[in-house]
Amino acid sequence: MQGLSVTGLSAAYRKSKVLDEVNFKLPKGSLTGIVGPNGAGKSTLLKVMLELHPKLGGTVHFAGKPLKTMRKKIGYVPQRGSVDWDFPTDALDVVMMGLYGNVGWMKSPKARHREQAMAALEQMGMADYARRQISQLSGGQQQRVFLARALVQDAELYFMDEPLAGVDAATEQAIMTTLRELKGRSKTVMVVHHDLQTVEDYFDHVLLLNRTVMNYGETADVFTKDNVYRTYGAGLRWRQEVPS
């Protein structure tokens, strides 16, 4: 069963190319870590696939269909730093945003939408903070709110940009439990990841990226010392972070 297929995808910022001929295929129900050095285009890859950033060329198919018809089946978790957490709103309200597509444009959310949002917060262990100002949440709590917002979308495919960056251990566990649970329900999940040490524990598939796909496939086959070195080039100095 096809989860995701990307063919010849290229993109640029201003005039410099950041993604060059990206090709890969991932099966439905896979949990994939996107790994690569800084500036490899990991975040850009997600944005270009979801047409949040213009592409130069290439095609993307979600469960065999183009983005247009799949938009409602796709959940996106942007980087936590991409929004202003000083914005006047609370955790529950942010999670409700994930339901705006279902609520309908220019209509008000109903009680059942609020219940759905509460359930998602509960799943992320954030029920007690539903009415908390988002500026008063810790970084990990903010990340959980973002995860909860993606969960209420009840999507088929999830794309998450560094959900584990700068979060506390408890949040990391909560997020990983959720990701595995999504995988268990045959959702296709792609996660931009920065910590090489946890790749093998967390992901069944891996996409090594440095402006183009260096390698992809099942973690056990692809996440090898040679491949990782090749992806990171001279930038990799920490022996202990490279799998043996």
Partner 1 sequence: MTLLLSPNAWWVLLSMLVLGVASGMIGCLAYWKRQSLMSDALSHAALPGVVIAFAITGVKILPVLILGAAISALIGAFLVQWVVSSSRIKEDTAMGIVLSVFFGLGIMLLTIVNRTGGGNVSGLDGFIFGQAASMVRTDVYTMSALGLVVISIVWLGFKEWKLFLFDPAFAKGLGLSVRLMNSLYSGVLVLVIVIGIQAVGVILMSALLIIPAVSARYWTHSFKWMLIGAAVIGGGSGVIGTVISTMGKGWPTGPFIVVSSAAFFVVSLLFGAQKGLVIVRLQQRSRIKSEVSVPAEREKMVVKEGGY
Residues that bind partner 1 (CB under 8 A): 47, 50-52, 71-72, 74, 76, 78, 82-84, 87-90, 93-94, 97, 100-101, 103, 105-109, 133, 135, 138, 140-141, 149, 168, 170-171
Q: Quote the least distance from Cβ 144 to partner 1, whole Å.
A: 9
Q: Quote the least distance from Cβ 91 to partner 1, whole Å.
A: 12
Which CB, 84 or 226, lies closer to partner 1?
A: 84
CA-CA distance, 124 to 170, in Å (whole number)? 11
Which CB, 29 or 139, lies closer to partner 1?
A: 139
Q: Quote the least distance from Cβ 164 to partner 1, whole Å.
A: 14
Which CB, 67 or 242, lies closer to partner 1?
A: 67
Q: Quote the least distance from Cβ 100 to partner 1, whole Å.
A: 6
List, edge to edge, every strand of the sheet that includes 157-161.
Answer: 74-77, 157-161, 188-192, 31-35, 205-210, 212-218
Fill in the amino acid letter for 207: L
Length reported for the chain? 244
Q: Which DSSP state fits 120?
A: H
Q: Quote the least distance from Cβ 88 to partner 1, whole Å.
A: 5
Which CB, 71 or 225, lies closer to partner 1?
A: 71
Q: Quote the least distance from Cβ 219 to partner 1, whole Å.
A: 27
CA-CA distance, 121 to 150, in Å (whole number)? 11
Beta bridge partners of 178: none
Residue 226 is encoded by which pair of tokens? 């040679």
Which stretches of 102-193 are assigned E, i.e. beta strand?
157-161, 188-192
CA-CA distance, 73 to 186, in Å (whole number)? 13
Which CB, 51 or 221, lies closer to partner 1?
A: 51
Which CB, 72 or 185, lies closer to partner 1?
A: 72
Which stretches of the chain are assigned E, i.e. beta strand?
2-13, 16-27, 31-35, 57-62, 74-77, 157-161, 188-192, 205-210, 212-218
Which CB, 145 or 214, lies closer to partner 1?
A: 145
Q: Quote the least distance from Cβ 46 to partner 1, whole Å.
A: 10
User: 3-class SS at 121?
Assistant: helix
